[in-house]
Amino acid sequence: MTGKAATQELEALDVGGTGAGTEWPWAPGGPDGSAVPQRVYVTGIFLALASILMFFTALTSAYLVRQGISTDWVPIELPAILWANTAVLLGSSATIERARRLLAQGRPEGFRRWWGLTTALGLLFLAGQFVAWTELRAAGVYVATNPSSSFFYVLTGAHGLHLLGGVAALLYLARRDESREHRAGLQTAAAAASVYWHFLGVIWVCVFLLLNLRG
Amino acid sequence: MAEAHAVAHEAPKGFIRKYIFSLDHKVIGIQYILLALAAVFVGMFLSLLMRLHLVWPNAKLPFFDVMTPEQYLALMTMHGTIMVFFVLTTAPQSGFGNYFLPIQIGAADMAFPTLNMLSFWFTFVSFAVMMAAFFVVGGAPISGWTAYPPLSAVGEIAGPGLGWGQSLWVISIAIFCGASLMGALNFITTTLDLRTKGMSLMRMPLTCWAWFVTAILALLGFAVLLAAGILLLLDRHAGTSFFVPGGLVITEKLIPHKGGSPLLWQHLFWFFGHPEVYIAILPGMGITSHILSTFARKPIFGYRAMVYAIFAIALLGLSVWGHHMFTSGMSPYSAFAFSLLTMSIGVPSAIKTFNWIGTLWGGQIRFTTPMLFAIGFVSLFVSGGLSGIFLAQPAVDLPLHDTYFVVGHFHLIMGVAAIFGMFGATYYWFSKMFGRQMSEFLGKLHFWPTFIGVYCIFMPMHFIGLAGHERRYPDTTAVQYLAALQPVHLFMTIAAIVTIAAQFIFVFNFFWSLWRGKKAEVNPWEATTLEWTVPSPPPHDNFAGRYPAVYRGPYEYGVPGAAKDFTPQHVPDGAGGAGSH
């Protein structure tokens, strides 16, 4: 059905009962050019976090159960670089927060600088994780060596993949148009990305605590 | 992304953008429904082969010659998997939900149309990967839809289909998890953020509530299944020992894994698996409530109680997974807790049943085809639910576990009831989706043999289960104490053949009505919700840029003092509406 015919048919149907259908508050061509309200991105990201939290909770409970029942669990020696990686990731949470605030204050140049720094720190973290895996491999600790090493690779790998997704999001947003008419959209997207980024920092701290305290 | 959305609401041009990689929730909904329709016929054909084999174990069947026990188990595995994932999860939620949730809440589309498209195509790929398991060396897996390790984890040494077939199974399920997570996120966001003016949560149709809560369950459950699937895949291919215990000897060969726990898989799987039961049935409950109110010409009895009952069922459903594991040697204290929680699901379930009957009570009932299926749903829900109370007792479950009693129970309540929800939805909304009415005569001709037929198939299963008939036996001829039950098997097989034959009436009606059915009016059922205010089928953005405001609840039928016996949601007070009351 063409849009015009549909409109005529709807008028004939008298939707709204008064002869005048209500304008949708977020109809296409709204003030920020968006077809949906900006809050869907915030809702969406929090729902994604709930799901990711369930995913890591499942792995953590598997970790505790598998460790609790086993007689073959041999703790692995965690590579020291993980401490440095942790510091880098926590630092990146601070830089992304700075970037987000600069954008909200209408300072896109500062936003770009801090946003880029965050991306670099994210990549540095991933490189650090890669170094940790290489060290373990050199020490003969593979994924199937022991349940402790299996879980180490699964947890760090799953977290790393999520963070890689975060880096991709940061790079995507860095290329977004931050001119005035699109700024509201970019602000929401940056806020959603930084919520995700902080969350991955928290997940990492939990994973790292688990590996240290219950290794 | 904002630009993409603006573009998404221009009607797309070209066949591919319009019908294949469509961003329109209505097209995606129909894609899901067609996928489920294809899947249900595959699943039904597999069950027919199984039933024939049970009665005539030496008969030559299409594709099989004489079926081996392993082939029987492969059919059983694939029947369960296809039906649970690609039919019961796909059609009621992703299919009908996708099509009608945005329209019923007055939105132009889902919150994330691109994600919506991705979630359908992930599901499609997942289905293709699952089907591929039939065609690889060794064939389809034989470990059941629950894929319990160690059988599912040690590879083809344990049987045919456990090599490539099982790997494809796990990969397919992992992809399906991804698809469901994207879908769930979209459903919840849409419900929370895209309701039109006046559409408060407590004015939403019960269908929307059911889809919303189902999406919450999916969001939490599928994430856990994904984690479990990854661990299983590592056990299979990376030599880890999450689920495979040590010292396992299969065909005189020592399995190198050690120290893993098969029970760990069961916990993770059923943490998803039990909510999955409600993922399958809640949309059917929503649709049933919707249809009952429409055709009883009465407001739904106890709307708020219905909403709270949906939440209660979902919440309890997340904490009862252990009742699938009573025979696993769990602590009796845990079993007691799981049992108590399980039986408490009877309370919100009874509230729903009571309210459905309360809705019918004193109504001016119109026995249309969708109404028949909705009433059939209530009947099946009660019949299937009562045996659930038996199974919820650990002491009763011990002898009944893994017997046909369980098979009968879950087929009635989860399988057939949900299917009746889908049939009801199809007959109810067909005219809105395709612009033509389905034949009422053929619909009733479809209903009666289906309704009687499913009872004839699944009620006897309870009795042979009580008699001690284990499930998953491919051939009972060599089992002496089961010989007396063979006539019951014959009866169930004949019932299955008749019931399956009756489904072709539905298929004929569906496709015949698609082209030859009576042209549909906008509101043929005289219903009140927003989907009945737009043309059939609705235009690309549903309301053509003009959005209704909502002034009342979803089920104002037969309100005293109103001009007509139904007052649509978009009609303001004083404009032919009910006035204040």
What CATH code is carried by the domain that includes residue A124?
A: 1.20.120.80
Domain tally, chain A: 1
| Residue A10 domain-assigned (yes or no) | no
List chain B residues with CB under 8 Å of A55.
Answer: 223-224, 226-227
Interface test with A, best of B212, B240, B540 (most A CBs within 10 A): B240
pLDDT at B80: 98
| Residue A30 domain-assigned (yes or no) | no
| Residue A121 domain-assigned (yes or no) | yes
Q: Is the pTM of this model over 0.90?
A: yes
Is A150's Cβ below 8 Å from some Cβ in B? Answer: yes
* Residue A17 to residue B220, Cβ atoms within 8 A: no
Per residue in A206-215, pLDDT (tens digit) is 999 999 998 8
* Residue B193 to residue A37, Cβ atoms within 8 A: yes
Please report, as a single letter, which amino acid is at residue B214: T
* Residue B544 to residue A182, Cβ atoms within 8 A: no
Is A101's Cβ below 8 Å from some Cβ in B? Answer: no
Element (H, E) at A22: strand A22-23
A27 — pLDDT class (breaks 50, 70, 90): very low
Is A12's Cβ below 8 Å from some Cβ in B? Answer: no
Per residue in B289-326, pLDDT (tens digit) is 999 999 999 999 999 999 999 999 999 999 999 999 99
The span from the CA of B530 to the CA of B554, in Å, is 9
pLDDT, average across residues A50-60? 98
The total of other beta-carbon atoms located within 10 Å of residue B8's CB is 24
CA distance B260 to chain A (A): 7
pLDDT at A19: 33
> Could you tell me if B264 and A66 are in contact, meaning their C-beta atoms sit under 8 angstroms apart?
yes
pLDDT at A177: 73
| Residue A160 domain-assigned (yes or no) | yes
A205 — pLDDT class (breaks 50, 70, 90): very high
Is A30's Cβ below 8 Å from some Cβ in B? Answer: no
A132 — pLDDT class (breaks 50, 70, 90): very high
List chain B residues with CB under 8 Å of A70.
Answer: 259, 261
Comparing CA positions, the residue from A15, A12, A24 lying closest to residue B575 is A15
| Residue A4 domain-assigned (yes or no) | no
> Could you tell me if A65 and A151 are in contact, meaning their C-beta atoms sit under 8 angstroms apart?
no
Element (H, E) at B345: none
- In DSSP terms, which residues pair with B66 in a beta bridge? B60
Of A17-26, A84-93, B261-270, B549-558, minimum mean pLDDT range: A17-26
pLDDT at A26: 41
A16 — pLDDT class (breaks 50, 70, 90): very low
* Residue B6 to residue A28, Cβ atoms within 8 A: yes
Q: What are the angstrom distances between the C-alpha of B206 and each of B188, B284, B351? A: 15, 10, 14
* Residue B3 to residue A33, Cβ atoms within 8 A: yes
The total of other beta-carbon atoms located within 10 Å of residue B339's CB is 22
Interface test with B, best of A26, A41, A42, A47 (most B CBs within 10 A): A47
| Residue A3 domain-assigned (yes or no) | no
Q: Point out the residues of chain B with pLDDT beneath 50.
A: 1-8, 577-581
pLDDT at B9: 52
Show which of residues 512-531 on chain B sit within 8 Å of chain A, judged by CB atoms. 522
The span from the CA of B331 to the CA of B406, in Å, is 22
| Residue A24 domain-assigned (yes or no) | no
Query: Between A21, A27, A62, which is nearest B264 by CB?
Result: A62
Sole residue written with tokens 């009571």:
B354
Please report, as a single letter, which amino acid is at residue A170: L
pLDDT at A180: 66
State whether the Cα torsion B75-B77-B82-B87 is positive or negative.
Answer: positive
pLDDT at B504: 97
**Residue A60: partners with Cβ closer than 8 Å, 6 or more residues away:** A206, A210
Long-range contacts of B9-16 (CB under 8 A, 24+ apart): B9/A28, B9/A35, B9/B108, B9/B109, B9/B540, B9/B541, B10/B540, B11/A2, B11/A3, B11/B539, B11/B540, B11/B541, B12/B540
- In DSSP terms, which residues pair with B60 in a beta bridge? B66
State how beta strands B65-66 and A22-23 pair: unpaired
List chain A residues with CB under 8 Å of B105.
Answer: none
Q: What ipTM does this complex have?
A: 0.93
Query: Between B2, B242, B544, which is nearest A3 by CB?
Result: B544
CA distance B186 to chain A (A): 7
Q: What are the angstrom distances between the C-alpha of B268 and each of B169, B312, B345? A: 17, 22, 21
| Residue A18 domain-assigned (yes or no) | no
Comparing CA positions, the residue from B227, B208, B49 lying closest to residue B140 is B49
Q: Is the pLDDT of residue A15 over 80?
A: no
Domains of chain B in sequence order = 22-260 (1.20.210.10), 312-516 (1.20.210.10), 520-581 (no CATH)
pLDDT at A23: 43
Residue A59 structural domain: 39-213
- In DSSP terms, which residues pair with B65 in a beta bridge? B61
What is the secondary structure of B525-570 as a DSSP string?
T---SGGGGS-SSPPTTSSTTEE----S-S--BS-TT-SSSB--TT
Nearest chain B residue to A184 by CA distance is: B2
